[in-house]
Amino acid sequence: MLDPIEFTSAMRKAPTPVSIVTTSGEHGPHGATVSAVCSLTAAPPAVLICINKNSRILGMIEEHGVYCVNYAAQHHNNLALAFAGVPDFAEQRTFKPENWSIDPTTSLPVLIDAAATFTCLHIQTVSFGTHRILIGKVERAESNDARPLTYWDGNFKSLA
């Protein structure tokens, strides 16, 4: 078997977009930084996201049945650190109105000035190893011209 350290070290060189996935339910809103998001099908519109089985947001999404994938723009890098649980940014892990609007229909936090946002209905969970693959049917998509935040070689990068 390939050494997991070799795998991780090579995978660090694959650039990814950075999203903050949000959900909301009876315990209020919650969000987590997630880079493992990709388009699954255009018809029906669907995405998949990969979430560690120990993440709090996993059970919340499965319970609430709805979530929003917010692709961060370059100026959201501190927020992305906050929603990844980095202690120095902990005080920013909130849904302040200057950064977030609340969708009146779903109660989901939607990131203001995000590169793109996708409101998803949770359809299916697939288990594999330490992670869960969540398949979501996209109900609403919005985008703007903001330059996306990307993650590469262990750091946030800006597109040139």
Ligand X SMILES: Cc1cc2nc3c(=O)[nH]c(=O)nc-3n(C[C@H](O)[C@H](O)[C@H](O)COP(=O)(O)O)c2cc1C
Residues near ligand X (CB under 6 A): 18, 32-36, 50-52, 55-57, 84-85, 151
Q: Rounded to 10 degrees, what is the CA torsion of 7, 118, 79, 58?
A: -60
Q: Smallest distance from the beta carbon of 31 to ligand X, in angstroms?
A: 8
Nearest residue (CB) to ligand X, 4 versus 104: 4
Q: Smallest distance from the beta carbon of 140 to ligand X, in angstroms?
A: 22
Q: Is 17 exposed, middle or buried (0-12, 13-18, 19+ CB in 10 A)?
A: middle
Nearest residue (CB) to ligand X, 89 versus 107: 89
Nearest residue (CB) to ligand X, 78 versus 105: 78
| Residues near 9 by beta carbon (within 8 Å), at least 6 away in sequence | none
Hey, which residues does 124 pair with through a beta bridge?
135
**Tokens representing residue 63 in the block:** 């319970």
Q: Smallest distance from the beta carbon of 88 to ligand X, in angstroms?
A: 13
